[in-house]
Structures are given as structure tokens and as C-alpha cells.
Chain A
Amino acid sequence: MKAWLQQHLAALVRAARRLTDSPLSTLLSILVIGIAMALPAAGYLCLDNLKTLGANSSRAQQMSLFMNTGASEKTRSDVEKRLEATLPDQWRFVSRDAALRQMEANEGMAEIVASLPRNPLPDAFILEPDNADPEHLETLRATLSAWPGVAHVQLDSAWIKRFDAFLRLGRLAVHLLAVIFAVGLIAVTFNTIRLQVLGQAEEIEVARLIGATDAFIRRPFCYSGVLQGALGGLTAALLLLAGTLALAPPVSRLAALYGGTFAPHGPSFLHSLALVASGAALGWLGAQLSVRLIRDQ
């Protein structure tokens, strides 16, 4: 076991040495891998931020529950109790008088309101459910509509559905992009390792003649692929972090102009770790494909 670990450690050291022996080409390879990984990861990060933005937007999850105009005080009280049980602290009551006053306050509406023989507006509840999932909101709307005394429940579902469809499409595009760039990353690693294998042909031949197994010969190349992929993943995470830091102030200012507060978040530690790990895995895969050449030599 100790000898096995020592051989792996020695292979890792040899792989690192091979990378540092040609620093410029190693740096370029890592940069190419980093950029290839950063693009789909940036797309994912954008969608994640948009999702957060959508969830933060009150309009995205706001529903209006309108009572029948002739609903009694008791009916309204029943609805209040039910709402408190269903959506505790996620609703507020707007009386028909308050709604009329709000309407009256709007420019040009005062005369129209004054000309009305009576208040035509119903009592209403404004709901802001914590769970903004479109399917959940649709179910909630159907449930609330069936309550006694409720005339209509309005949900800006079209907007939410459009937003959700956009996010779904974006996610699909990001996944496709990730697959394309993953193939590209494997190709880059394959080519880099292939060149290393060709460059080390003499050493491979000598090692074979003095009793090296295929595994012994392949090991440093595989570690080389893993190191390049992992460093590429780290580069991608750093590029995303730098991009987020650069974009955060103007995005926040833009959000403030629309009366909101929003600061885009960069890659989390786990996200960065996933980038490094997937880079290492793809690098290993590219190296594995490339070292098949050794067997064919």
C-alpha cells in the first residue's frame, strides 16, 4: 500500500514537473480550459442571479383576491381566518373604501370616481406567498377561488410563466453549452497529453524495456490531465469571481434606479469546488483517451 502511494505521489510530482517544464504552453492550456469552463458557468450564474431577482420581485408572486361585492362581514372574516391558516403573514387586506381612495388619488381619476353613484370596488386581499413556484401559485389560485364569498383570484401567471419559461430555456442553453465546452475541454486535454506522450516516446520505450507496466507509464500523463483540468476549473472560478466583482456595482445602481435592491452573487465555495472537480474529471477523461496511444505505440 505504501509503495502504491509512493508510486502515485512520484507520478504526481513527475506530472507537475512536466507542466512546469513548459510553463507558457501549460499556462495557455489552462487558460483555454478556464475560459471554456467559465462560459457555461457564467451562464449558470446569470440564471441563478435572475432566479433570485425574480424571487425577490414582489410582482412575480403577488396575487389579488377579490371578494363578492355583496359579501358580508362574516364571510370576509372567514376568508381572513382561512388566509392566516394557509399563508400566515403573507397577506394584507385592502377595503373597498381604501381601494376607492387609492383610485381617487390617481391623476385624472378624481372626477370619474366622483361621478360614480356608488363604490363599485370589492373588498380585496393582496397575497404575497413565500413560495413563488408557478405551479404552486396556480394550485393556490384554484384553491382560493373555490372559497365562499370569493369572486375572483387574479394571478399575474402569464408573466411568471413567461419568466419561468425563459429560465428553463436558459438552463437548457447553459446545459447544451456546458456539454459543448466539456467536449472541447476533453479535446484540449487530449491534444496536450498526446503531445506529451509523443514528446516522451523515448522515455516510454526505455521504461517498457526495463519492466514498467502500462499503468506506471500512463499514470503521470493522467495526473497531468487532472492537474490541468483542476487548474482550468480554478481559473474559471477566479474569472467568474472577477466578473461578478466588476459587474456588481453597475447592476446594483441599475436596480436602485428601478426602486429595488439587488447585488449579483458570484460563485459560491461549493460552486468553485464543483468547477475544480469537474475540470479535474474532464481532464482525467481527456488524458485517459490520449494515453490509449501509449498502448498502440
Chain B
Amino acid sequence: MIVGSQICKRYPGGLEALKNVSFEIAGGEMALVGGHSGAGKTTLLKLLSAIERPTSGSLIVNGQNLVALRPAALPFLRRNLGLVFQDQKLLFDRSALENVLLPLEIIGLAPRDAQRRARAALDKVGLLTREKTNPIALSGGEQQRLAIARAVVNRPTILLADEPTANLDEESARQVLDLFIAFNQVRVTVIIATHAPQNLFPGMAVRVLTLNHGTLTP
């Protein structure tokens, strides 16, 4: 469960990216964070993944208040979060499989178990046959699916994605979104930031948190 209460985020220089934002997202829920460019979507996702901290207010993720979280506890919080970025942040000096193995190396999983689990994640996103391929040789959609495989290989309880379909063609975007639906169906909380929430899951009842100049609109 995620509970945000009166969250404000002010950057040095005075820019107020979020103003008194309060919300609740239940465990296993899927939510979209919508809004125009500069509305504060990415800032909210950065706060949820503890990349940045709120200036004031409280933000509780998986029972931990991120405002008071010790820096040493951050890595352990992030191990329960799956992060998917618009630019994927893949490592191009290693293969697709090695990219997915990285989170498992970090938690110290035995190499054999790690290999098995990483291959299962690649299979889930349809990239098992490309495990030895360098990400640079993958298409945009495949790179995004690889990023999702890396995000979910640790079996996170929350999956956060920032504009995951922004640079993809329609078919690739559909494949990526289907993956989010699949993970949500197994009770993973999915939060996706997008500038066009209405087009993402047509025909599906998905909750949308709309931000406008840093405030949540009803």
C-alpha cells in the first residue's frame, strides 16, 4: 500500500513541482499518473522510488515512511520496487541476460538460481531467444520489455514505470502494456506515469491520478 499525505516537493531555485499532494494506492492496484508535461508526474515517481525526497509531507511505501528513511535503508526498499524508465537505463556492455541478472547479483542469489530466474523473466517478456544479444541490437520495444524483465526479476511488490511507451510504435506499446496488465493480475501494484492516460488501457477501468501544475485534480 502506498499513502501520500500533503506531499510538497520544492527544488533549489524555488520551483514547486508538487503541492500538497495526497493519495492512496492499495496493494495490487493499477494506477496511472497523468498530466501535461511538467505537471509533476516524473517527480512523483522519483519520490515513490526514493530517488528524491519530499520537501514536506509524508509518503509511506510498503510500510516505510520515505521522508524519514535512512540512506542505508534505501537499497533494501528499492529491491522491492521495480523501476521502468522511459530511457530504459540498460547496460550496453553486457548481454540481455546479464542485464536481467544484475538485480539478482545485488541480492546475492546463487548463480544457478539467478540464471534460472533471469531466464524465466526473459521468457515472460518474450526475449528468451535473445538472451545473448546485446541490448543495443534490440528494437525499442524489445529494449523496453528487457527493462521490464529486469524490473520484475526480483519479484517486486510495486512496479513503477515512467512513460514506458513514449518512444514505441503501437504494436510494441501494446506488448509492453500487456505485460503490465499481466503483472497486475498477479497482485503487483503497477503505477505508470503517462501524458495520455486515456489512451493507455482503452476499455479498462483503471484509476487515474491527474496532476496539474503540481496539484492533484479531482
Are A212 and B108 in contact (CB-based, < 8 A)? no
Say if the beta carbon of B107 comes within 8 Å of chain A.
Answer: yes
- Shortest CB distance A259–B (Å): 66
Select one of A4, A6, A202, A211 contacting B91, CB under 8 A: A202
Say if the beta carbon of A216 comes within 8 Å of chain B.
Answer: yes
Chain B residues, Cβ within 8 Å of A207 = 102, 106
Q: Using a CB-CB cutoff of 8 Å, which residues 28-81 of chain B contact chain A? A: 49, 51, 72, 75-79
Are B105 and A7 in contact (CB-based, < 8 A)? yes
Say if the beta carbon of B144 comes within 8 Å of chain A.
Answer: no
Q: Using a CB-CB cutoff of 8 Å, which residues 176-213 of chain A contact chain B? A: 202-203, 205-213
Are A209 and B78 in contact (CB-based, < 8 A)? yes
Are B110 and A6 in contact (CB-based, < 8 A)? yes
Chain A residues engaging chain B, CB cutoff 8 angstroms: 2-4, 6-7, 10, 202-203, 205-213, 216
Counting from the closest, the 3 A-B pairs by CB-CB distance are A3-B108, A211-B79, A211-B78
Chain A residues, Cβ within 8 Å of B91 = 202-203, 206
Residue of A nearest to B103 (CB): A210
Q: How far is the CA of A216 from the CA of B102 in the complex (A)?
A: 11
Chain B residues, Cβ within 8 Å of A4 = 108
Q: A202-B91, A203-B91, A205-B89 are in contact. Are A210 and B150 (CB under 8 A)?
A: yes
The SS class assigned to the A binding surface is helix
Say if the beta carbon of B83 comes within 8 Å of chain A.
Answer: yes
Q: How far is the CA of A203 from the CA of B150 in the complex (A)?
A: 14
Residue of B nearest to A206 (CB): B89
Select one of B78, B108, B110 contacting A210, CB under 8 A: B78
- Shortest CB distance B90–A (Å): 8
- Shortest CB distance A95–B (Å): 84
Residue of A nearest to B76 (CB): A211
- Shortest CB distance A6–B (Å): 6
Are A211 and B105 in contact (CB-based, < 8 A)? no
Chain A residues, Cβ within 8 Å of B103 = 210-211
Chain A residues, Cβ within 8 Å of B89 = 202, 205-206, 209
Q: A6-B111, A203-B91, A205-B89 are in contact. Are A210 and B51 (CB under 8 A)?
A: no
Q: Using a CB-CB cutoff of 8 Å, which residues 91-133 of chain B contact chain A? A: 91, 93, 102-103, 105-111
Are A209 and B49 in contact (CB-based, < 8 A)? yes
Q: How far is the CA of A118 from the CA of B111 in the complex (A)?
A: 97
22 contacts between A and B (CB under 8 A): A2-B110, A3-B109, A10-B111, A202-B91, A203-B91, A203-B93, A206-B90, A207-B106, A209-B49, A209-B78, A209-B83, A210-B83, A210-B106, A210-B151, A211-B75, A211-B78, A211-B103, A211-B154, A212-B75, A213-B72, A213-B75, A216-B106
Are A211 and B106 in contact (CB-based, < 8 A)? yes
Are B110 and A3 in contact (CB-based, < 8 A)? yes
- Shortest CB distance A287–B (Å): 20
Q: How far is the CA of A213 from the CA of B102 in the complex (A)?
A: 13
Chain A residues, Cβ within 8 Å of B107 = 211
- Shortest CB distance B79–A (Å): 4
Are A10 and B102 in contact (CB-based, < 8 A)? no
Are A206 and B51 in contact (CB-based, < 8 A)? no
- Shortest CB distance B149–A (Å): 12
Residue of A nearest to B104 (CB): A210
Q: How far is the CA of A22 from the CA of B111 in the complex (A)?
A: 26
Q: How far is the CA of A129 from the CA of B108 in the complex (A)?
A: 64
Chain A residues, Cβ within 8 Å of B93 = 203
Residue of B nearest to A21 (CB): B93
Are B102 and A209 in contact (CB-based, < 8 A)? no
Q: A202-B91, A203-B91, A206-B91 are in contact. Are A212 and B106 (CB under 8 A)?
A: yes
- Shortest CB distance B143–A (Å): 14
Are A10 and B105 in contact (CB-based, < 8 A)? yes
Q: How far is the CA of A203 from the CA of B78 in the complex (A)?
A: 16
- Shortest CB distance B42–A (Å): 14
